[in-house]
Structure 1
């Protein structure tokens, strides 16, 4: 008697495949959601580490780190226009403190050698990166006026390759895990080779100018410009102990945002250079080494994830290959008006790859997820530290 092996028919096989496909289709979104939840948790932990570093600095220096240090509004007055030996330096311009640029020709103003470190460099030591902090300190302490613009002089051009380390840490510790990795660099306004990341400081509820003495005090954020400082001796470029003090946060530390996220533009614009192996563009958003609006800062003018138009100095023109079309969430407008009265109305919104909102840390160190549909006025109020508003429907 011959035995016959029982096998699947073609119909049965197709049914099984269809069932497996349905199960995969049902499970895959759940797996992806679980992975995104894990990435979002990792993201919040990274922002928490930055907040803790700022609090440790505040314990040591009695203030949060300055958003950035600038001598621009007092540059032509003694002793700021003198060499370290007291001899005149020549003609250098005064310009508003909200102007952030490179130090060479091609910047917003010529010879803008008037800056100290931004907040990113201040927190290196308190994030267990004292070696990087020392490298920055050595660079700006040298008797070299060209070194008075750290983001222009620690940019990692071929002859400064060791300084790339100061940016490598930014990319690893200050990038959101949900953000696609990118090698595209920011290069414009006489600044080159700035890598991009995601975590940015709150410069207030409205414009860049409000982060300076020229702006509206009620719109100021946890970080801003420090201008009441001498240029010489060189060690005073840091501005340590001159950022916001906790007593300045009169709205309450649990009601004032300190850090959040931005999305960087990683589209190359076609320019080529041996020092930009993966390409570059003129979009400053996410270039954390520089405190240009959108670089290592954001404002609460628009709510998170907004389709509202960002306005900043570091934005591609519409004809630029790296520009986003009008209506795109990342569409921006280039504005380089540096008039002391009408300029500095620059703002960049918080955005993330989390889909429904952004992570944000508050001055008290807490981390909260802010939904994209938060009321615009509430968000603006949360992004100020001394506006006197009462937040009634905080997320």
Structure 2
């Protein structure tokens, strides 16, 4: 006796296409949420990096009696215009990077590759994640700058144009200039109203190449015209150059980040604020200067 043949139910082509379409819709709905969650985590990590750097400046002040210099020129006729050690290098012992700091011979300038017996040839190529914003595309090695260690955090130069005239002058009212030694008492406007560091991503927007910076120091020295990728540069922006907002594509002197809508800034009190691209330009100018006596308008 033959057994009856049982037919097994199966998806029709139409049903299969419907299921695939539903899955596609769900992915389309969930993917932006996942991306937003990832960016929120990256922005939080960036904020923490800036907090650690700001705290390091306080510990440096406790030890040395002032904030670190923006950069220091190496003494010697062979280093008239060279690569100067910057604030990032001086903070190394205060961000758990003493081992790197102790390898540096400060009698020589830094170089991006071994050269002429300079003992510091490999130091700048060491990547330090604490100087890198996780959102940035350039990563811990700045391939646009001799494969040296990236710094997405740039110190505030102050209110004067980036030129040799103002590299070392009390007329510049920023927190970090050449051979500067700013003390807490010099921050007359209040530490919560004064920017220490701002972001700069290593990317190109239109014709503007931001290139981030280098944690090791300031490249190419005095009279170089103020490269936008320098460790100190005009930092988050010189007040005289603030003619457009954060994340602008037409002024490399300003801060630029890949965080949607604005950029993170560390202030002299150790706090970190996210300032929007639409920040009041007067507020931005006043935040850059430490003793202008201005009341900061609504941001």
2:137 touches 2:202 (CA, 8 Å); kept in 1?
no
Aligned to 1:40: 43
Q: 1:61 & 1:364 partners in 2: Cα distance? A: 17
Aligned to 2:56: 53
1:157 touches 1:193 (CA, 8 Å); kept in 2?
no
Q: Residues 201-216 of structure 1: matches in 2 within 5 Å? A: 201-209=155-163, 212-214=167-169, 216=171
Tell me by how many angstroms 1:284 deviates.
6.1
Aligned to 1:254: 192
| Counterpart among 1, 6, 28 of residue 3 in structure 1 | 6
Change beyond 3 A, Cα 1:66–1:184: closer
Count of residue pairs brought into register by the alignment: 275
Aligned to 2:297: 392
Unmatched segments (≥5 aa) in structure 2: 220-225
| CA distances 1:308-359 after superposition (whole Å, capped 9, x unpaired) | 233xxxxxxxxxxxxxxxxxxxxxxxxxxxxxxxxxxxxx211111121111
Aligned to 1:28: 31
Query: 2:257 is paired with a residue of what secondary structure?
Result: coil
Aligned to 2:275: 370
Q: Residues 307-318 of structure 1: matches in 2 within 5 Å? A: 307-310=249-252
Q: 2:260 & 2:124 partners in 1: Cα distance? A: 30
Q: Residues 270-349 of structure 1: matches in 2 within 5 Å? A: 285-292=212-219, 293=226, 294=228, 295-297=230-232, 298-300=235-237, 301-302=241-242, 303-310=245-252, 348-349=253-254
1:65 touches 1:119 (CA, 8 Å); kept in 2?
yes
| CA distances 1:174-215 after superposition (whole Å, capped 9, x unpaired) | 01101124545455xxxx553433111111245224854557
Query: 1:128 is paired with a residue of what secondary structure?
Result: coil
Unmatched segments (≥5 aa) in structure 1: 72-79, 82-91, 93-102, 104-110, 142-146, 227-241, 268-281, 311-347
Query: 2:265 is paired with a residue of what secondary structure?
Result: strand
Change beyond 3 A, Cα 1:58–1:124: same
TM-score (norm 2): 0.81
Q: 1:19 & 1:387 partners in 2: Cα distance? A: 60
Q: 2:151 & 2:119 partners in 1: Cα distance? A: 19
